[in-house]
Structures are given as C-alpha cells and as structure tokens.
Amino acid sequence: MPAFEMKLALFDLDQTLLDGDTETLWFQYLVKEGHLEVDHLKEHKNFSLDYEQGVLDFSEYVNFILHPLKEFDLETVQSWRELFLQEEIQPRLRFQHLLAEHSEQKHTLVLITATHDFLADPIGRMLKMDLTLSSKPEIVDGRYTGKVTQSCFREGKVEMLEENLNL
C-alpha cells in the first residue's frame, strides 16, 4: 500500500501574508475606536521591543494582549472584530496569488502564527487556509482568563504542527 503523501504550504501571518502585525493593528483599532486607552499602545510597544530583542515573556504578553477579551463581553468584542477585519486586515492581505498557486497544486495551505485564535482563525478563513494553527487562549466559564492552553510561539509552532499533522 503506498504511503500517504501530503504536500504542505506553510505560511506565517504577521509581516508575511499580512502587511503589518495583527495584534498591533488590533490594539491600534481599539484605541482609535475609543475602546481602549492610548496607554495600551505604549505598553504594547514595549512588548514589541522585547520581542525584537529576543526576551519576550510570552505568558505576560498573552495576558496583556487578551485584555480586551477579558474585560468586555464576547458578543461586543466579536462585533468589533468583524469591523476590524474588514477595515484593517482585508486591505493589508498580500500574496494571495501564491496561495492560489499552491491551492491549484493541491497543497494543503497552513497558516501558523503566534497570534491568538480569536483573531487568527477568521483571518485564516479569509485567506481560505485549509488549517490555521494559532495560540489558544484559555476560556473558563465562557470567559477568557488571559492565559493560553496552547502556545504557537517559537518551538510551540513546531509542536503544534506535529500534533495537528500526527507527525
């Protein structure tokens, strides 16, 4: 019996398929719309600098980045997300011709990103990905806690890919 062969086309999101950083754009949008204070942008910039220097505490960052999901009811934040995706993400998506080429070749399109699934999953659908692998925030009693149950950051990307593809 011949072995099953799957051809993967793996893509990162931020600064790759998206001209920008998803979570930075999300915070900028929330501040612009008056849902968050401008101080959140300053704190986010500090986390970005930590990332660039290779010293980011991902757990601390996730707790910060999930603030809007912890503080507001899910229905409200989902409505903000829909507008955000239309206004800020859709115009910044790029390289769709590459995705189409891989799709025509019957490659399995995989988006793999540290961005949390609240934002990454709908972007994956917009890009017509076969699979979206992203950080999974913890939800207890229908509320986000600020922690992740599964990280898709650094070595977590490889672990999540192997787990989802049963490697």
Just list the catalytic residues: 12, 14
Q: DSSP code of 4?
A: P
CA 131 to each of CA 35, 41, 135, 155: distance values in angstroms, whole numbers, following the listed order: 31, 30, 13, 18
For residue 30, count other CB atoms closer than 10 A to its CB: 20
- C-alpha 20/C-alpha 15 separation (Å) is 5
Residue 46 burial by Cβ neighbours in a 10 Å radius (0-12, 13-18, 19+): exposed
Q: Are 119 and 139 in contact (CB under 8 A)?
A: no
Residue 42's H or E segment, with its range, is helix 39-52
Q: Are 85 and 122 in contact (CB under 8 A)?
A: yes
